[in-house]
């Protein structure tokens, strides 16, 4: 059964059509890639799937529930879209503790474990303001996976990572796939797409084709 169904979705901003009749499905336990130039519609599509932007026509279902109709947001989702935003005067650990406290369903030990999974030290006293771009990206990935979501949307998850960091996060994504997670990722790097993805969609001018 398809976990994500995007049915004939069009998104307009005024007279400008950014997504045009997008129709794709995604199964559980698979990694899907979206490639395309800047401005092709990748990030807008991801925001529509998350419920951050309403679609103009069509509908999106995640886990059998219609986004924007039955639920505002997918029920079990982890997201990185654009540069992750954090309270820069605090440590990475403290940032995730505050976010976890909003739902009060994750222990400190679980937060520490997920920070290590993303390749960071939970005891690091450095504030996020002093993090490199790659460290912020790792913290964003830790935030996306910390509630053990069924569905992950990762927009350019390798931004700012060195070769070692890219290998770490590729391994992490493949491990999540083995756990049965559904993953949608956008990357400019064709190597990331080739290694990780079961199926790839190319976006161009708001339209999509399967590669």
Q: What is the pLDDT of residue 211?
A: 67
Return the residue matching tokens 């931004």: 159
Q: What is the pLDDT of residue 101?
A: 84
Write out the two tokens for 69.
């109709």
Q: Tell me the sheet residues that pair with 154.
A: 80, 185
In whole angstroms, give the CA distance from residue 51 to residue 173.
23
Where are the domains positioned within the chain?
A: 2-210
Return the residue matching tokens 């994750």: 106
Per residue in 138-168, pLDDT tens? 999 999 999 999 999 999 999 889 999 999 9
CB 56 within 8 A of CB 206: no
Assigned architecture for domain 2-210 = 3-Layer(aba) Sandwich (3.40)
Q: Is the confidence at residue 103, as pLDDT, over 80? A: no
Return the residue matching tokens 């103009």: 56
Query: For residue 192, what pLDDT band results from cuts at 50, 70 and 90?
Result: confident
CB 195 within 8 A of CB 186: no
Per residue in 170-183, pLDDT tens? 999 999 999 999 99
């Amino acid at each position: 059964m398809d976990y994500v169904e995007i049915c004939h979705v069009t998104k307009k901003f005024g007279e400008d059509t950014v997504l045009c009749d997008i129709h794709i499905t995604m199964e559980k336990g698979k990694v899907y890639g979206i490639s395309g130039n800047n401005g092709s519609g990748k990030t807008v599509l991801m925001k529509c799937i998350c419920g951050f932007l309403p679609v103009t026509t069509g509908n999106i279902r995640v886990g059998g529930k219609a986004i924007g109709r039955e639920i505002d947001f997918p029920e079990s989702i982890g997201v990185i879209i654009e540069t992750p935003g954090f309270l820069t005067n605090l440590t990475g650990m403290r940032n995730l503790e505050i976010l976890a406290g909003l739902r009060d369903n994750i222990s400190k030990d679980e937060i520490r474990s997920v920070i290590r999974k993303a390749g960071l030290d939970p005891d690091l006293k450095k504030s996020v303001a002093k993090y490199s771009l790659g460290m912020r990206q790792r913290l964003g990935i830790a935030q996306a996976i910390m509630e053990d979501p069924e569905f992950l949307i990762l927009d350019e998850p390798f931004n700012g990572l060195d070769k070692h960091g890219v290998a770490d996060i590729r391994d992490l994504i493949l491990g999540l796939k083995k756990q049965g997670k559904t993953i949608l990722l956008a990357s400019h790097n064709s190597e990331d797409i080739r290694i990780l993805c079961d199926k790839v969609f190319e976006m161009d001018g708001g339209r999509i084709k399967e590669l």
